[in-house]
Structure formats: structure tokens, C-alpha cells
A and B are shown apart, each in its own frame.
Chain A
């Protein structure tokens, strides 16, 4: 039993660091490890992964809040879509066959990884929006952050709010159905659709994942899917790992993060499609 606990702490540390750097919930890393390597029932793996998502989010947002990378208005505004999506997803569980969602979201992830790879090929460094979007101005969503790698304050504008909201609803839906943080989709909604820079997108996505996961976590908590001897050491490892990860992330230039992101999106996409068939 002590061996299991130590193993869970190590997995938690690893998933926390990787999750915070990539803006993923860590759940997408933990679930394959727990099911494929530790042979844990998928039901309990999902239960543990929801807790992992919350721990990653809460652990890393502490660091982001101090460094003011996060955009709280964007987070709360988009949270309308993700929480409604998560509740709908929780209600849909059992009615809809999840395999179609696996395939659909797998394909979307594949598309996104190609999209990101294409962006990397273009040497176009800054991808900031110049559009004065009416909704963004009305909802005061435009922001500013200090980039540690480039050593300067970067002001940014956001656009295509309806597109961002739609993707966020889908992200919430997947979160409620599969017990994941859907961090990848949240980053895509902000980064690709709304043209927010990657660092505030990742930080804001981390915060949002916690709130979205809390909606589905209570369901898993009360139906007994959360095993204390798995979830507790995992969560403790994650809390430490996420804090370390968010520090590393701010020193890395955005390009490096994207390079890490592409094969991971590809891998998750392929494994999701395979799971669907």
C-alpha cells in the first residue's frame, strides 16, 4: 500500500509539471497511466482524474495570480459556457454513447495540432489581434501581461467571442462527460479563435478548468468513484508539481511551449479516435 501511495505521488508530480506547462488539466496524462500502466478500472481513473484537474488548476493559479498573467474577466465570461456545457455533459452521460464524442473530439484535436504545427512553420512571431471587437470592448475582455521571456509588457485584444464561447461549451461538455479538464480545447478557444496570446490563454485555461471540473467532481464524489488512497497522494503530488510547472513555463519562450504541444495534441487525438472505434 505504501508503494502505491509513493507511486501516486510521483505520477502526480509528473502530471502536475507537464499539465501546468501545457495548459492541460493533467487528467489527460493521468487517465492513460492509471488505466494502461496501473490497470485501474476506468471508472476510478476518471474519478481520480477529476481531482487531479482541480488540484492542477488550484495549484498553478496561485502562481499565475501573483504574476498577473491571467485574465479574470475572460475566465468568468467564458465560464458561463463551460459550466453550462459541463452540467449538460453530466446530464447527457448514460443517454449519449461516449464513443461518438471520443471520435469527434479526437478529430478536432488532430485538426488543432496540424493548425498549431502550421503556425510554427510560419516564422510570424507575434500573432496579436489589431481588431477592435465590439463585444470584447463592451465586456472589457482586452488585457495586458508582462512577458518574462521577452522582458516586456504586452497589451492584447481579443476577437471572435461567439466562436470562443461555442468551443468553450464543447469543452465543458467533454469535461462533464469524460471527467477531463478539456484544457486543450480551452487554450484553442482563446489562442486560435479569440487570438489571445498563448501565455494568458494557458493561465486563464488553468483557472477555468478548476471551476468546470468542480461541477462534475461532486457527481463522481458522491457516487463513490473517487478512491481516497489513489486520489489523495495524486492530488498532493499535483499541487507541488503544478507550482513547479507554472514557474518553468514563464521562463520558456512561447515557441517552445507550442513545439511541446503539437505531438501531445496529436497523440491524444489519435488515442481518442482509436478509443472511439
Chain B
């Protein structure tokens, strides 16, 4: 009993460390994209769009990034930030699988399915 409790603790420590590292990379990448967009916007004083308009679809953002429009880059940074919690759920599934905790693989997969479902609702 005591032995299995120790194993669970060690497993969880490993899982949490891996998730922490991946999440940190995700946050740093989205922060870097946001900073690049914000600095570009402040230096040029140009959003790349007329008036207060800002892009909000994948297509518009993609076209804006190709033309180096600062608002498009800022929106990409925001979108990456929104994805970091989703990434955390994905990585948790893998980590639980690696630790042979099938119960939590199912639980976490279900959470991911709900998130994917909500994503398509938003479109």
C-alpha cells in the first residue's frame, strides 16, 4: 500500500514536470509573437488595417501575417495563447498513458473532445 502510494507520487511528479516544461514553451512562444506584433505596432504606428478594424478569421490573419501586418501578428499570438491550455490537456493524455493510468487517459480524452467540440461551435 505504502509502496504503491510512493509510485503514484513519483509518477505524478514526472507528469507534472513534463507538462510544466511544455506549457512554458507554449506560453513563451505566444508571448514572443505578441511582443513582436506589439513592438511592430508601436514603432510603425500602423495596424495594417483601415480604422479600428482587426482580423478575426484564420484566412484574414494568415493573409495579414504574409504581408507583415502588426494586428494579424498580434491576433496570431492571442490564438497561440488560447491553445496553451488545450496543449496542456493533450500532453496530460500522453503522460497518463505513459504511466499506464488508463482511467485518467479516458477522463482527459473526454475533456479534450469537449474542447474540440466547442472549437467547432465557435467557427
Spell out A's residues near B (CB within 8 Å). Answer: 1-2, 5, 51, 54-55, 57-59, 61-62, 65-66, 68, 70, 72-73, 76-77, 79-80, 83-84, 86-87, 90-91, 139-140, 144, 207, 210-211, 213-219, 221-224, 226-229, 231-233, 235-236, 239
Contacts and interface: CB of A to CB of B under 8 A. Distances in A.
In this complex, which of B78, B108, B119 has the most chain A Cβ atoms within 10 angstroms of its Cβ? B78
A76 B103 contact: no
Nearest to B24: A62
Interface in B1-18: 8-9, 12-13, 15-17
Given A58-B23, A62-B23, A239-B31, 16 more contacts: A2-B42, A51-B78, A55-B81, A57-B85, A61-B88, A140-B103, A144-B9, A210-B85, A215-B115, A221-B78, A223-B122, A227-B54, A232-B78, A235-B34, A235-B81, A236-B31
29 contacts: A51-B82, A55-B81, A72-B12, A72-B92, A73-B12, A76-B108, A80-B107, A83-B118, A90-B118, A139-B103, A211-B85, A213-B85, A214-B83, A214-B115, A215-B114, A219-B118, A221-B82, A223-B56, A224-B54, A226-B75, A227-B52, A228-B71, A228-B74, A228-B75, A228-B78, A233-B38, A235-B31, A236-B34, A239-B31
- Secondary structure class of chain B's binding surface, majority of residues: helix
B19 interface: yes
Contacts of B86: 211, 214
A87 B79 CA distance: 19
B62 interface: no
Contacts of A217: 82
A55 B83 CA distance: 11
Contact of A222 (B17, B35, B122): B122
Interface in B72-100: 74-75, 77-79, 81-86, 88-89, 92
Given A228-B78, A239-B27, A87 B117 contact: yes
Given A139-B103, A211-B89, A228-B74, A72 B23 contact: no
A58 B110 contact: no
Nearest to A87: B118
Question: Which size bracket describes the interface of B in this complex?
Answer: 35 or more
A232 B54 contact: no
A80 B103 CA distance: 13
In this complex, which of A68, A72, A216 has the most chain B Cβ atoms within 10 angstroms of its Cβ? A72
A167 B33 CA distance: 36
A211 B115 contact: yes
A72 B111 contact: no
B5 to A, nearest CB: 9
B91 to A, nearest CB: 11
Nearest to B15: A72
Given A66-B20, A72-B19, A83 B78 contact: no
B23 A221 contact: no
A84 B88 CA distance: 18
Contact of A231 (B23, B47, B78, B108): B78
Contact of B19 (A65, A90, A215, A231): A65
